[in-house]
Structure 1
Amino acid sequence: MTDNEQRRNAAQTAGDRLVARHVREDPFAAAFKATRMPMIVTDPNQDDNPIIFCNAAFEKLTGYSAEEVVGRNCRFLQGPNTSREAVARIRASVEAGSDIAVDILNYKKDGSEFWNALFLSPVRDDDNRIVYFFASQLDFTNVKSREADLAAARHKAEEEVAKNTERLQSALGAKTLLVHEVDHRVKNNLLTMASIVKLQARITKNQDHRQILMSVLNRVEALSTVQRKLFTLDDVSRFDIADVAREMVSDLVGAIKRPDIRLTHELHPVYVPAVKATPLALIINELVGDAVRRGLSDGGGQIHVVVKRLNGHFLIRVEDTSIPVEVDIETAEIGRILLETSARQVGAKIERRTAGHRTTVDVTMLVESPQESEN
């Protein structure tokens, strides 16, 4: 008799002995044999801890008969893709005599793979000595397959998202370049127009005509300032009205060259959509221009400019203190029409207050979304 035959006979004898301990009516033996969960019993007291008993469910799962299984170590279920780490964990658990639950890739008799949810536990006698190891198996290949399908689908979706993101970024980059190019051309055209108006103002002998041309020049330069700001921004969809106001007011007051005009301001960042840039720039230009025409350009005075957010709105305030002078009716009317038209375009409300030599004009506009305003 060969060594393998001897080991198999020893394992079979141990298995028979185990079964013989339970009478036919024993519910444990009946449940072990009849359950649909694959189960085996091994004997660690024999060489190589062989299987000494398996139930019908184990035979059905693996394709091996009891005669082919008894006397062999469970490692015959392993194959080329079985995780060495999982095998090492099982071995360590057996050596330590402890429970273990592990997922391991096993192989059936026909060579096909299946994912085995293995639970291994020692059985001890009254002296706490390990007499058997009891192992149950659960085939969860379908679950694992669905997980793999989901992982593959997720990976494919992530690839598609990455591709679409790249295309969108490319398209956005192209759009941004196009917008910058358009802004650049508009800015150049405005500068050209400003140069023409400035040249005309220089050669014009009539003082009234010169003043009219200079008021047109101021408005063109206000629009040019907005376009220049938009052209230098990474986000061309919005702009900071406070930043525009700071530069425009400084340029307007500085152009008068009157040291007796005291300029102060309270400017807080308020971001608004770029489509509102033009009317808002004209509003600031007309408010400051009106203050200049009513006395600042003649007798000096103080001008204070405010841009800030206030209770869901944002406020543009221009306040001046000066000795009033007579204003050209036509010039004042043009300024009023431009101011009111620009305010209507952005849904703004205008409120004017006068007390002595102090005039305050408030322009308030609703902040439509959190992205349009930042404190």
Structure 2
Amino acid sequence: MREKNRSKTDAQDAGDRLVARHVREDPFAAAFKATRMPMIVTDPNQDDNPIIFCNTSFEKLTGYSGDELVGRNCRILQGPGTDKTTVARIREAVGAGRDIAVDILNYRKDGTTFWNALFISPVRDDEGRIVYFFASQLDFTNVKSREAELAAARHQAEEEVAKNTADLRAALAAKTLLVHEVDHRVKNNLLTMASIVKLQARTTKDESQKRTLMAVLNRVEALSTVQRKLFTLDDIARFDVADFARELVTDLIGGIGREDIHLTLDLQPLYVPAVKATPLSLILNELVGDAVRRGLSDGGGEIHIVVKRLNGHFLIRIEDTVKPVEPDPESAEFSRLLLEASAQQLDAQIERSSQGRKTIVNVTLLVDEHQENGH
């Protein structure tokens, strides 16, 4: 019992040291704790590679409290139905210090089972030594349980289409379900990528590398927001730019944590085909990020976002009033190239004007009427 208590104490101490490296206001530490994706960190340098840190989502998923989890190996989630071959693959990957993604049947504290899309990745220090293992989980029990039903429905739909083209609706419904499942996987991968970049940024001491990682993280999270929006929509063919802009800008400005940034929004529902969602999200993200880099994050100011239909065009306007700060030249150049590439994909026009401390950027694009209103 004494040895068990000591192991738990060592694991707790390791978790405390990990958290202590980051200031309380660190938005990335806060994101790790608050994200809806269950995540844990383990310490391979301690006996039995115990859990040293877990977020609230992981506690909710498993039914265990953080106090019950810290100091224990992840095998606490295994049970009689857990595939031993999968467990062996995980053990081998951890022993070899490499990434692994598997689907595994796990058990909650109350004994109920759930299918876990598990991703494990080592976190190394500047000398290449493994200091932690990061693991993210995704409960896809509903997807797993529906696989047989989807397969049967798809087979039946194919037979019916062959007999009678009037039954194509069944095939289209099955296709929609499959697209949602693909979006679900893409969103999961983007969240996992973002989590890995966050952890890497925390362990990186070079400030230039850290800024680059944060820039990558910012764009990955913008794409993740798009995927989440598409995944939760009943109509996967259309994308509401206004709804996305509200969430993106609120998150970006809120993440800075400054009360001297005044945000105003003039947003009208503006639907575009889903294929335009990604370049539009990057444009919005870059333009708001440009305002942040030019002074919002240092001296505060005002930012006003407009999304509306105007004179047969779709208009996105970003207005900001800030005390100018010279942005990093490399970051500014990369942002410009990304804006140009995204605008080219959309056949959009980007016009910028500045007067004193005020900068206005208008993004206009044409979308056919049937594309906006079609389903």
- With normalisation by structure 1, the TM-score equals 0.55
Which deviations, in whole Å up to 9, do the C-alpha atoms of 1:165-221 show, x marking residues without a partner? 762111111110110011001000100110011111111112222121111111000
CA distance in 2, matches of 1:192, 1:164: 43
Q: Which residue of 2 aligns with 1:46?
A: none
Q: CA deviation at 1:164?
A: 4.8
Q: Which residue of 1 aligns with 2:147?
A: none
CA distance in 1, matches of 2:165, 2:282: 38
1:326 is paired with a residue of what secondary structure? coil
1:197–1:217 Cα contact (<8 Å) kept:
yes
Q: Which residue of 2 aligns with 1:278?
A: 278
Return closer, same or farther for 1:180/1:217 CA change in 2, 3 Å cut-off: same
CA distance in 2, matches of 1:224, 1:302: 26
2:351–2:363 Cα contact (<8 Å) kept:
yes
Q: CA deviation at 1:373?
A: 5.5
Counterpart check, 1:338 vs 2:345: no
CA distance in 1, matches of 2:253, 2:330: 22
CA distance in 2, matches of 1:166, 1:329: 59
CA distance in 2, matches of 1:372, 1:257: 36
Counterpart check, 1:228 vs 2:214: no
1:201 is paired with a residue of what secondary structure? helix
CA distance in 2, matches of 1:170, 1:370: 24
1:186 is paired with a residue of what secondary structure? helix
Matches of residues 184-199 of structure 1 in structure 2 within 5 Å?
Answer: 184-199=184-199
Return closer, same or farther for 1:337/1:373 CA change in 2, 3 Å cut-off: farther
1:249–1:288 Cα contact (<8 Å) kept:
yes
2:278 is paired with a residue of what secondary structure? helix
1:317 is paired with a residue of what secondary structure? strand
**Corresponding residue pairs, total:** 214
Paired AA for residue 255 in structure 2: A
CA distance in 2, matches of 1:208, 1:271: 38
CA distance in 1, matches of 2:164, 2:313: 37
Paired AA for residue 269 in structure 1: P
Which deviations, in whole Å up to 9, do the C-alpha atoms of 1:75-119 show, x marking residues without a partner? xxxxxxxxxxxxxxxxxxxxxxxxxxxxxxxxxxxxxxxxxxxxx
CA distance in 1, matches of 2:337, 2:199: 26
Q: CA deviation at 1:367?
A: 2.0
Matches of residues 256-275 of structure 1 in structure 2 within 5 Å?
Answer: 256-275=256-275
Q: CA deviation at 1:370?
A: 3.8
Paired AA for residue 314 in structure 2: F
Paired AA for residue 321 in structure 1: T
1:220 is paired with a residue of what secondary structure? helix
Matches of residues 78-89 of structure 1 in structure 2 within 5 Å?
Answer: none
CA distance in 2, matches of 1:206, 1:297: 21
Q: Name structure 2 gaps, 5 residues minimum.
A: 1-159
1:209 is paired with a residue of what secondary structure? helix
Counterpart check, 1:167 vs 2:160: no
Q: CA deviation at 1:229?
A: 0.4
1:308–1:315 Cα contact (<8 Å) kept:
yes
1:302–1:320 Cα contact (<8 Å) kept:
yes
CA distance in 2, matches of 1:186, 1:165: 32
Q: Which residue of 2 aligns with 1:300?
A: 300
Q: CA deviation at 1:287?
A: 0.3
Q: Which residue of 1 aligns with 2:209?
A: 209
2:273–2:371 Cα contact (<8 Å) kept:
no
Return closer, same or farther for 1:243/1:165 CA change in 2, 3 Å cut-off: farther
Q: Which residue of 1 aligns with 2:352?
A: 352
If you compute each CA radius of gyration, which structure gives the higher value, 1 or 2? 1
Paired AA for residue 274 in structure 1: A
Q: Which residue of 2 aligns with 1:323?
A: 323
Paired AA for residue 246 in structure 1: R
1:270–1:373 Cα contact (<8 Å) kept:
no
Paired AA for residue 365 in structure 2: M
Paired AA for residue 174 in structure 1: A
1:303–1:321 Cα contact (<8 Å) kept:
yes
Q: CA deviation at 1:355?
A: 0.5
CA distance in 1, matches of 2:222, 2:167: 37
CA distance in 2, matches of 1:206, 1:298: 21
CA distance in 2, matches of 1:191, 1:349: 31
CA distance in 2, matches of 1:168, 1:291: 49
CA distance in 2, matches of 1:323, 1:336: 21
1:314–1:364 Cα contact (<8 Å) kept:
yes
1:198–1:217 Cα contact (<8 Å) kept:
yes
2:323 is paired with a residue of what secondary structure? coil
1:267–1:307 Cα contact (<8 Å) kept:
yes
CA distance in 2, matches of 1:362, 1:373: 23
CA distance in 2, matches of 1:319, 1:231: 30
Matches of residues 90-101 of structure 1 in structure 2 within 5 Å?
Answer: none
Return closer, same or farther for 1:373/1:311 CA change in 2, 3 Å cut-off: farther
Identity %: 72
- With normalisation by structure 2, the TM-score equals 0.55
Counterpart check, 1:245 vs 2:241: no
1:320 is paired with a residue of what secondary structure? strand
Paired AA for residue 306 in structure 2: V
Q: Which residue of 2 aligns with 1:314?
A: 314
Return closer, same or farther for 1:212/1:164 CA change in 2, 3 Å cut-off: same
1:229 is paired with a residue of what secondary structure? helix
2:279–2:343 Cα contact (<8 Å) kept:
yes
2:183–2:227 Cα contact (<8 Å) kept:
yes
Return closer, same or farther for 1:242/1:373 CA change in 2, 3 Å cut-off: farther
1:363 is paired with a residue of what secondary structure? strand
Paired AA for residue 268 in structure 1: Q
Root-mean-square deviation (Å): 1.7
Q: CA deviation at 1:312?
A: 1.1
Q: Which moved more, 1:210-219 or 1:351-360?
A: 210-219
